[in-house]
Amino acid sequence: MTAICLVGIGKIAVDQHVPSINASDDWELAATVSRAGTVDGVQAFTDFDQMLSERPDIGVVSLCLPPVPRYEYAAKAIAAGRHVMLEKPPGATLAEVYALADMAKAAGVTLFTTWHSRMAEGVAPAKAWLADKQITGAHISWKEDVRRWHPGQDWVFAPGGMGVFDPGSNALSIITEILPMPIHLRSADLLFPSNCDTPIAAQMQWTKNVTGDFDWRQEGPQSWDITVETTQGTLNLHDGGARLLIDGEKVIGGPRAEYPALYARMAELVASGTSEVDLSPMLHVADALTLGKRIVVDPFHF
């Protein structure tokens, strides 16, 4: 088993990373770094530099921090010869992640920009089914209640937090994976609460008749759905990619095991001495923030 350190013991670390590591034969959770969070029975550091110097046996670092602070940690880890796994979205800017990729290459370590939704059960079969189809259009409907899923996480509305594109990047990671052709943004309406620096909702129009509706104000039923129309039928992904239907018939659907798959992939990458760095989902977020029309809406408070 390979010793791994988890950094940023917050919601996603507790909900997904810790159980996935504990259930894996590849990994041993050897330390954590967090200012407040800890994991029972695991050595806890509050200072990252101290962990790097005191635990040279830990070769892999998994960063579960929000995107803005992540770069500094990743750069230090790579400089210290550690392999690095990044939560999504992989950074606060595209350029900083390209810089990390260059650093990882020069240092001979693995960098993995994870996109957990791509590991959802329906995504690979959806990609395979669409590979030889003629696409006539697609629609993303990604509507959830930010108060329910990100309670009190002020960073999502601060610069670099990306607002509704924090969950929206999950949809973008799926659409960029399954469509057999590239798309680019034509227009976007971005709804900014008057007291926030990031959008709470967005309507997007891409080339090839692809549209997206992202909203963090959704109360009641939540939707994480993608529909792709082709000349040979309609594909639907529901539940964030976990359930796949073609022409209304269920093809696949089961419990979500995205994070165990991410850690299995990281083990493969480290073993093969390779990196996986894909910024295509984040490219669409950056494009929305450069091309989008800013519309000011009611203030938001958790």
Instruction: Find, among 18, 68, 24, 61, the residue nearest to 38 by Cα.
Output: 18
* Per CB under 6 A, 277 contacts ligand NAP: no
Contacts of ligand NAP in 75-94 (CB under 6 A): 87-88
Mode of pairing for the β-strands spanning 233-238 and 185-193: unpaired
Q: Please count the residues of this chain forming the interface with ligand NAP, following the rule CB under 6 A.
A: 23
Q: Is the dihedral of CA 25, 86, 37, 52 positive or negative?
A: positive
CA distances from 297 to 29, 131, 195, 292 (A): 44, 40, 9, 15
- 240's tokens: 């964030």
* Per CB under 6 A, 12 contacts ligand NAP: yes
Instruction: Find, among 276, 282, 252, 281, the residue nearest to 264 by Cα.
Output: 276
Q: Which of 126-134, 148-156, 228-236, 248-256 is the region at the interface with ligand NAP (rule: CB under 6 A)?
A: 148-156
What strands, in cross-sheet order, belong to the sheet with 135-143? 249-253, 243-246, 233-238, 223-230, 135-143, 210-215, 201-206, 185-193, 293-297
Q: Which of 11-19, 96-104, 216-224, 249-257 is the region at the interface with ligand NAP (rule: CB under 6 A)?
A: 11-19
With 0-12 / 13-18 / 19 or more C-beta atoms within 10 angstroms meaning exposed / middle / buried, residue 134 is exposed
Kindly tell me which of 129 and 157 has the beta carbon lying closer to ligand NAP: 157
Active-site residue 11, yes or no? no
* Per CB under 6 A, 172 contacts ligand NAP: no
* Per CB under 6 A, 9 contacts ligand NAP: yes
Active-site position among 11, 88, 105, 208: 88
Among 4, 8, 163, 282, binds ligand NAP (CB under 6 A): 8
Q: Which of 50-58, 133-141, 147-155, 190-198 is the region at the interface with ligand NAP (rule: CB under 6 A)?
A: 147-155
Distance between CA atoms of residues 295 and 218, nearest Å = 18
**H or E element at residue 83:** strand 83-86
Distance in Å, CB of 219 to ligand NAP, minimum: 18
Nearest residue (beta carbon) to ligand NAP: 10
Binding string, residues 214-253; x marks residues near ligand NAP by CB under 6 A: ----------------------------------------
Instruction: Find, among 136, 120, 290, the residue nearest to 204 by Cα.
Output: 290
The residue ranges that bind ligand NAP (CB under 6 A) are 8-13, 34-37, 64-67, 69, 87-88, 116, 149-150, 153, 155, 166
Which residues are catalytic, by number?
A: 88
